[in-house]
Structure 1
Amino acid sequence: MKKKRILSFLLATVMASGLLAGCSSDEGKKGSGKEEGGKKDSIVIATMGETPSLSPTEHNAVAGSYMNLLTYNTLFKTSMTLEPVPDLVDSYENVDESTWHFKIKEGVKFHNGDTMTIDDVVASLQWAQGFAEVSLYNKNFVSISKVDDQTLEIKTDGPDAMVLSNLSHHGNAIVPKKLIDEGHDFNADPIGTGPYKLVKWNRGDSLEFEAFEDYFEGAPSIKNMTWKIIPEGSSRTIALEAGEIDFIIEVEAMDADRLKGNDDLTVIDYNATNLTWLMLNNETPGLDNQDVRHAINTAIDKESVVTVAYNGMATPALSQMPMNFEGATEENADTYDAEKAKEWLEKSGVDPASIKFSIICSDDTKKRAGEVIQANLKEIGINCEIESMDLATYLSATAEGNYTAAIGGYSSDSLLGYVVGVYHSSSINASNKTRLNNPEVDALIDKAKVTVDAAERKPIMEELSALLNEICSQAPIYQPISMRAFDARLQGVEITDGGTIFWQNVSWGE
């Protein structure tokens, strides 16, 4: 009964907030944004968090990747089916198990008017290897060299299943060699080959872009683009309904039904590869105990978290891997059981009263999830606090290990990329935020990386998945059904399960 009272209270609070947020008018929505005498040629996009950097090499954040997709290109890109396909490459060949040749496209222009050459490509990939934030995606390249004026050679230390997917990562974006040599600040002035050019970054408020007329795939239809930073989900919803913005990147789950009922809007939902967890710093006393982590994981009623935080529009998670990837398994995974959680605590030998931590939350959805978790853990004698933090500070604190617990997630276009980023010890101080350092885990990931055949790699990943569930470095919470909402007149909007939108293909209808 106590569980039901807690859930009822939290639901009542969320519903009351939703009702207050919903007291707005959508008058003026129809026909808004029309240009005199023709189609609209601008768009305003609302996003929850501001990018930590506009440079492709100085971050590994989703908010930053949205911006990088506008201004840069990579040799490969991720397709709608999450496969790496050529972008700045015309053709390629795996010459032998450790050698790759890539023929680049001719006539591609940079924003500064220069034509891309093979020297730019070589310099860009070598330059990117010097940045810790993205080294995970290029340190497997043991040599990068020019074969001829159109051909790049990359050598790896033996077979490597991640070459093409790594070349799709924003950290390996191609930029002008002469700007690298001059020490150009790509954060202040992101010069690339992408479909849009930066006009102005109004810190904390918005970013403005204009179409690149010499874009190698053709100039985008939408000429002017503004990204507004709106942290509060309900505020994003109201702005869309009022016609102040045209597109929401992160839809507030509590407003989804309302938006879907509006004929002037389109809502797309998709099964995201993002898995959200309660991250636990495995170097913190108490949380360094595997049995304590199992106790915390087992104590969390994930069905209730999904109901309160996501309005039911997410899948409760058990596995340490996203289950929409082949190779993930729920073997050894914990299920909700408060009594079992107490048994785990007793087995650990740790006094629950000594386990005190704060849960960092960087948005309203995470805060609602944190409040359910806080109530669940109190039931087994663990007290924790909720700490709100802006996205940029959260990313820095968790990457550096300056935290005890936080609600976060990670998205990848491949399971191999996911486990390297989240669980390999080489990703500590970057995306391995639990700071897990387990030789057996590293060995299985390294084995998977050199197993190029996907069918042969699957059992390795299943073994790894079961091991990670046993170690329980963090508590999986849910996989969201991600949503995008936008003006129904927009055409050509396609979204991969990794959340990628190719804005150069988007246009306004009449």
Structure 2
Amino acid sequence: MKKNWLLLITFFVAIFLAACSSGGASTEPNNEKDGNKEEKSGGDNTLTYASLTDAVGLSPILTNDGASANVTDHVYEKLFERNAETMEIEPQLAESYENPDENTWIIKLKQGIKFHDGTPFNAEAVKYTFDKLRDPATAAPRASLMEPVDTITVVDEYTVEIKTKYPYGPFLASLSHSNAAIVSPEADQKQDLMNNPVGTGPFKFVSWVPGDQIVLESNPDYHDGEPALKKVIFKVVPEVSTAISMLQAGEVQFIDKLPTEQLSRIESLKNVTIEKVEGTPQYYLTVNHSKVENQDPEFRKAIASAIDRDAFISKMNGLAVRSDSIIGPKVFGYKESADKAGTPYDLDAAKALVEKNGYGERPIKLLTANRGNFVLMAEVVQAQLAEAGFKVEIETMEWAAFLDTARAGEYDITFLSWSNLTADGSELFYPNFHSDNVGSSNRAQYSNPEFDKLVEASRTTTNQEERLELLHQANQLMLEEDAIVIMYHDVVTAALDSSFTGLQLEPTGKWNVSKVTRK
């Protein structure tokens, strides 16, 4: 009898254990499945951004590319930032500033802020960052932001005095640039910030798998309040079509820089909200000004007259702003009167100039990059110039080779672009068109002493009204010379999973997710 009871007990225990085991086996795969589903959809507190390229590095001092800046902008902060709506420069880590004289900037800092490593943000951190940024030994790609600086002095723990070599009007704009973000001195001395960044921003660095993804987590001690998003993932997705498919499937929740040719596809997605703002980036056609034949004003007039920019913009599906002005509507120095101050489209006038001067007798090499709207611009403009009688051959190159070739002046005409991250006209004109930079950032090879003087004057006064007028004069001078032909000013775009809200999309093309929440 005892044996039978033992057998019975053993039987029920076996059934019980089997049931428990079965329940565990069936629950575990479901948990894995749900977990994968949550990772794909982003979960309630995770946002995944599809980046077409991986970051180069995560130190604002040592990088100068968009993919890196998208990450560092959320880990670090600057002394100042440009308000995305008003385009006015406002304090970020700074509390206030004053100019006792044109060459002196006294900046008061916000107190009680700490870096992610727990060390204090203070005047010493500002001095350390800017001294390293401007040190030739650092070889920082945007050391030019500090070029006007003469001395940096720590007045007290939360006050820094910066003296410039000359009055420098765009100084606050320079300090609002991504590459002027403040780093933790202690972290920079202990570790490689290119791979392990430490700032004061709303998100902290977690991990980086090169070629795959970068993960950030919310900073619970952020001085402006912890973000609602607990995690932000920067997922490398090299093909834009793949990124759009992932957005549709919920595998990523955010993409930006929407391609014109894919816009209708994205607009058809029911789970996506598209955001657009008029932006600071611009795209333009230029002749190679270093070539003698291109210094003929009638040659440039013929080209400008032959280009129907309205016809091109009609192909952009609303992602372009039409204005002749070289300084765009969202950039300091713009005046509305310049909108129609360029040479208008006039095919008959272009044909007459081509016939009169024999411009159609020599072949013209049109250099273009093999990406995005550059190819579209090249095809449209080639056809328009051909209609006027020019003989134009397109030469296409990948981006890095294109930039090197343009810098070397190995072309007849080409398309160039500029993001205008500082949104300041002086910082558009000086790097791109001042004769100091021919052979480097002045890929148009443009050189005009009168223009140079106007740009220099716009940089060496802190009177903003004076700067506005000087920049307008420089703008008008280039338009009168047909120095370049503005094809369009950009419309900055993003597509966000409609279950999220609060994305801050900036005219400079930058964006901020620190205020994003799930609906």
Coarse TM-score class (shorter-chain normalised): 0.7 to 0.9
Deviation digits for residues 321-376 of structure 1, max 9, x if unmatched? 2144433614651222233334444676756523224322332x332222212222
Structure 2 matches for 1:433-444, cutoff 5 A? 433-444=443-454
Counterparts of 1:279 and 1:464, CA distance in 2: 17
CA distance in 2: counterparts of 1:52 and 1:377, whole angstroms: 39
Q: Counterpart of 2:173?
A: 165
Match of 2:391 among 382, 388, 398: 382
Amino acid at match of 2:308: D
Write out aligned runs for 1:43-58 (5 A). 43-58=47-62
How do 1:37-436 and structure 2 match up within 5 A? 40-80=44-84, 81-130=86-135, 131=139, 133-178=141-186, 185-283=192-290, 286-287=293-294, 289-308=296-315, 310-325=316-331, 326-327=334-335, 329-330=338-339, 333-345=342-354, 352-363=361-372, 365-379=373-387, 380-390=389-399, 394=402, 398=406, 405-412=414-421, 413-428=423-438, 431-436=441-446
SS where residue 90 of structure 2 aligns?
strand
Residue 501 of structure 1 aligns with which residue? 511
Q: Distance in 1 between matches of 2:279 and 2:295?
A: 30
Structure 1 residue ranges without an equivalent (≥5): 1-31
SS in structure 1 of the partner of residue 280 of structure 2:
coil
Residues in 2 aligned to 1:197 and 1:403: alpha-carbon distance in whole angstroms? 45
* 1:164 partner amino acid: L
| Distance in 2 of aligned mates of 1:396 and 1:215 | 42
2:324/2:341 contact within 8 Å kept: no
Partner-residue secondary structure (3-state), 1:504: coil
Name the aligned partner's letter for residue 89 of structure 1.
A
Question: What is the identity, as a one-letter code, of the residue corresponding to 1:195?
Answer: P
User: Which residue among 472, 479, 482 is the counterpart of 2:482?
Assistant: 472
The CA RMSD over aligned residues, in Å, is 3.2
AA partner of residue 482 (structure 2): C
**Distance in structure 2 (CA, Å) of the matches to 1:457 and 1:90:** 25
- With over 3 angstroms needed to count, the CA separation of the structure-2 counterparts of 1:83 and 1:295, relative to structure 1, is same
Cα drift, residue 245 of structure 1: 1.4
Note the C-alpha offset of 1:151.
Answer: 0.9
Letter in 1 for 2:256: I
- The 8 Å contact of residues 33 and 40 in structure 1, kept in 2 or not, is answered as no
| 2:514 partner SS | helix
Name whichever of 397-406 and 126-135 sits farther off.
397-406
**How far off its partner does 1:224 sit?**
2.2
**TM-score, structure 1 normalization:** 0.82
CA offsets per residue over residues 395-446 of structure 1, 9 Å max, x none?
Answer: 5655565666244333342333333343234455654332323222221112
| Counterpart Cα distance in 2 of 1:200 and 1:280 | 45
Deviations 1:276-321 (A, max 9, x none): 113544335655555444433332222222233x224323342322
Q: Is the 8 A contact 1:416 1:449 kept in 2?
A: yes
Q: Which shifted more, 277-286 or 444-453?
A: 277-286
1:173-226, CA deviations, whole angstroms, 9 ceiling, x for partnerless residues?
A: 2113345557x6433333322223444444455433333344333332222222
Letter in 2 for 1:55: S
Aligned to 2:7: none
Superposed CA deviations along residues 246-287 of structure 1, whole A, max 9, x for unmatched, are 011111233434444544221111111222113544335655
Go from structure 1 to structure 2 and tell me whether the alpha carbon gap of 1:350 and 1:78 turns closer, same or farther (over 3 Å shift). same
Q: How far apart are the structure 2 equivalents of 1:463 and 1:427?
A: 20
Match of 2:12 in 1: none
AA partner of residue 281 (structure 2):
N
Is the 1:322–1:479 Cα contact (8 Å) retained in structure 2? yes
Partner SS for 1:358: strand
User: What do the CA deviations read for 1:57-104 (whole angstroms, capped 9, x no partner)?
Assistant: 344444443233122211111112211111111222222222111122
In terms of mean alpha carbon deviation, does 161-170 or 423-432 score higher? 423-432
Give secondary structure in 1 for the equivalent of 2:511: coil
1:315–1:478: 8 Å Cα contact kept in structure 2?
yes
Structure 1 residues 63 and 424: alpha-carbon distance in aligned structure 2, compared to 1, 3 A threshold: farther
* Counterpart residue type for residue 479 of structure 2: N
Structure 2 vs 1, CA of residues 111 and 397 (structure 1 numbering), >3 Å: closer, same or farther? farther
User: What SS does structure 2 have at the residue aligned with 1:355?
Assistant: strand
Q: Could you say if the C-alpha distance between residues 352 and 496 of structure 1 is closer, same or farther in structure 2, counting changes exceeding 3 Å?
A: farther
2:25 maps to what in 1? Answer: none
Q: Which amino acid is the alignment partner of residue 194 of structure 2? A: N
| Structure 2 unaligned residues grouped into runs of 5+ | 1-35
**What amino acid is aligned across from residue 318 of structure 1 in structure 2?**
D
Distance 1:469 1:202, change over 3 A: farther
Cα–Cα, structure 1 residues 127 and 373, in superposed 2: closer, same or farther, change >3 Å? same
CA distance in 2, matches of 1:506, 1:429: 43
* TM-score, scaled to structure 2: 0.81
The answer to whether the 8 A contact 2:281-2:417 is kept is: no
* SS of equivalent to 2:505: coil
Tell me which amino acid in the other structure corresponds to 1:95: P
- Distance of 1:163 and 1:33 partners within structure 2: 48
TM-superposed deviation, 1:133:
2.8
State how far apart, in whole Å, the 1-side matches of 2:69 and 2:415 are.
Answer: 22
**Structure 2 vs 1, CA of residues 190 and 333 (structure 1 numbering), >3 Å: closer, same or farther?**
same
Q: Is the 8 A contact 1:272 1:481 kept in 2?
A: yes
User: Alpha-carbon deviations, 1:372-396, whole Å to 9, x = none?
Assistant: 1222233332322251524x55556
Measured in 2, the distance between the counterparts of 1:403 and 1:200 equals 43
Question: Kindly tell me: are residues 307 and 93 of structure 1, through their superposed partners in 2, closer, same or farther at Cα, counting changes over 3 Å?
Answer: same
Q: Secondary structure at the match of 1:387?
A: strand
Contact 1:144 1:155 in 2 (8 A): yes
Alpha carbons of structure 1 residues 43 and 123: separation in structure 2 relative to 1, 3 Å: same
How many matched pairs? 475
Asked if residue 452 in structure 1 is aligned to residue 462 in structure 2, the reply is: yes
Cα separation, 2, equivalents of 1:264 and 1:44: 15
Partner of 2:4: none
CA distance in 1, matches of 2:407, 2:212: 24
**Which of 483, 501, 504 does residue 493 from structure 2 map onto?**
483
Q: Contact 1:70–1:194 (CA<8 Å) still a contact in 2?
A: yes
